Structure 1
């Protein structure tokens, strides 16, 4: 038979609190600070002993006070839950990186098109390629042109006119 979420919460709350080495009184203080109200240390004791049911706002505050996701406090297998969360974050990161690369290339394409059309002066202050390159370290930084302006890969002439 599967344990009820309240049972899991009580057991996991105690495990996580002890893992961090904090007392029930300290956890109660942290929860109270987050909620902006008084929380008696005996409330944490009673929750952990399953004498008292935890309120949703207390559960959320307890997770925040322990600096862990609430789902970990109600997970049957917190390690598997953490691994699943990690895999989701890694997948989200891969998507975000692809989107970043697409947007970075679009910035470069548009900047080059503006320069080709003779509107290099319109770029002044609009695109700082040194900042762009420092954010995306995967882009090789070429030397400055003869006027000391940074040159973005594949673009001739200054990429930040007026700099």
Structure 2
């Protein structure tokens, strides 16, 4: 036989309150502030012990005071397990989105570096054609220029994500 909603509410009220580490007196204080009326901590005790029925406005206020949806306080364990799985999946999704953003920034940085290096290479090829049209495409850079390019490639590869100054991004 399924427990009655009042029984579930009493048990879940206590579980959620204890999960948050707050006393019955603290819950009563929070609820009183939300209700705008005095609520004695013994009312919480009696509700949890099922010696006093909870009023609808108190149930709604208790859920708000605990920071949970009202359904959490009147649902069975299957719904709680489902909610826990949803929360786990949402947390996993948030991590995946963070990883995706990190990789997107890395791709952006690498693409920007390739574009810059390609433009520099085109500049060198154009310069080589101007200097000696017969050897265009068949040349080696002087050691100083090669060292500068190697250093620039090293810097571009090791720059943290998001630091590549790419206009329009």
When normalised by structure 1's length, the TM-score is 0.51
- Alpha carbons of 1:105 and 1:116: their partners in 2 closer, same or farther (altered >3 Å)? same
- Which residue of the partner structure matches residue 89 of structure 1? 90
Query: Is the Cα contact below 8 Å between 2:17 and 2:66 reproduced in 1?
Result: no
| CA deviation string 1:65-115 (max 9, x = no partner) | xxx665543342287356424432343135313432342234314533664
Cα RMSD (Å): 4.2
**Secondary structure of the structure 1 residue equivalent to 2:13:** helix
| Separation of aligned partners in 1, 2:71 and 2:156 | 45
Extract unaligned runs of 5+ from structure 1. 119-144
- Alpha carbons of 1:84 and 1:94: their partners in 2 closer, same or farther (altered >3 Å)? same
Aligned-residue offset at 1:117:
7.7
Structure with greater proportional helix content: 2
The answer to whether residue 104 in structure 2 is matched with residue 103 in structure 1 is yes
- Which residue of the partner structure matches residue 151 of structure 1? 155
- Alpha carbons of 1:9 and 1:107: their partners in 2 closer, same or farther (altered >3 Å)? farther
| Separation of aligned partners in 1, 2:35 and 2:55 | 20
Instruction: Choose between structure 1 and 2 for higher RCO, CA contacts under 8 A separated by at least 6 residues.
Output: 2
When normalised by structure 2's length, the TM-score is 0.49
- Which residue of the partner structure matches residue 145 of structure 2? none
Extract unaligned runs of 5+ from structure 2. 120-149
**Secondary structure of the structure 2 residue equivalent to 1:38:** coil
- Alpha carbons of 1:58 and 1:93: their partners in 2 closer, same or farther (altered >3 Å)? same
- Which residue of the partner structure matches residue 51 of structure 1? 53
| CA deviation string 1:26-77 (max 9, x = no partner) | 21112334x272341254345433512343641332322xxx6655433422
